[in-house]
Amino acid sequence: MGVKRGGLGKGLDSLIPDNGKMPESGKKTKVVEKVIEKIIEKPAEIKLNVNQIEPNREQPRKRFDEQALEELADSIRQFGILQPLIVQEKDNYYEIIAGERRWRAAKLAGLKEIPVVIRKMSEQEIVEISLIENIQRENLNPIEEAAAYKRLLGEFHLTQEEIAERVAKSRTAVTNSMRLLKLDAKVQQMVIDEMLSTGHARALLAIEDPDLQFQIANKVYNEKLSVREVEKLVKNIGKEKPVKKEKDFQQDAVFQDLEEKMKVSLGTKVSINRKDEKKGRIEIEYYSMEELERLMEILIK
């Protein structure tokens, strides 16, 4: 099952110093900075009132962990915002391109002004930066990530290879991510709520019936099944023996009675094999030529 992240989020690594020193940027953070540097050259940092800034409604990330925001707010109260937000100017406000989490935490911390870099970017550049920033810091849930890939693919006509290159992931990882959007909406919500892991979700993709998919998803959550157990369960769906109706049980009893009577009459094992309700085959066993001759005499009489 998915486990909610506790403690300091990975997004804090770039904001909270270790023993008074600035933290070293990891490989993932460098990917973010490298992409942003392609678009922004030597940004001029200024300060803006927090109330002049608004989030981008189209940004991939829709959910924010309240506990993690409180922890980031505590860090901001102590150290301030070490990395400026990237914004662009609108008619009467500034829209966040990157840094919505820092903006929310700054408001919780009671800051009146925050450092920003103002830039003008295309919609595609905004989506790419927001996506990359969140993915590399693991701030998106699997469904948000998949939806962002789909938008880049459909709205901006990027190939899966191009998307994979931008987010520093394999093409297979991008493909598997987008497959999650084929899940039933209720199952997708279970992934968002961390009731199911991506491994469990991918196993459920083999079930085409939405209602059955949701039913099995609840079974997985309630019984705490492993991914391997889910795969086995899904594989066996449809292979169960059909439940016999009452009429079938009655017919079985009749034919079993006939078999028993013939066995007593002939003195050997008799099997009645039905093809359907009207046709079938009777098998009479013998174990020697003498027994065969005896059976022939009985049948002829």
Active site residues: 100
Alpha helices in 138-278 (DSSP H): 142-154, 160-166, 171-179, 185-192, 198-204, 210-223, 227-236, 246-266
**Residue 276: exposure state from Cβ atoms within 10 A (0-12, 13-18, ≥19):** exposed
Q: Which two tokens stand for residue 278?
A: 């009207």
CA gap 192, 187 in Å, rounded: 9
Q: Let me know: does 94 contact 88? Beta carbons within 8 Å.
A: yes
Q: Let me know: does 181 contact 149? Beta carbons within 8 Å.
A: no
Q: Let me know: does 84 contact 117? Beta carbons within 8 Å.
A: yes
Which of these, 110, 79, 95, 97, lies nearest to 32 by C-alpha position?
97
Show Cβ contacts of residue 113 under 8 Å, excluding neighbours closer than 6 positions: 47, 48, 49, 50
Q: How far is CA 63 from the centre of its chain?
A: 16
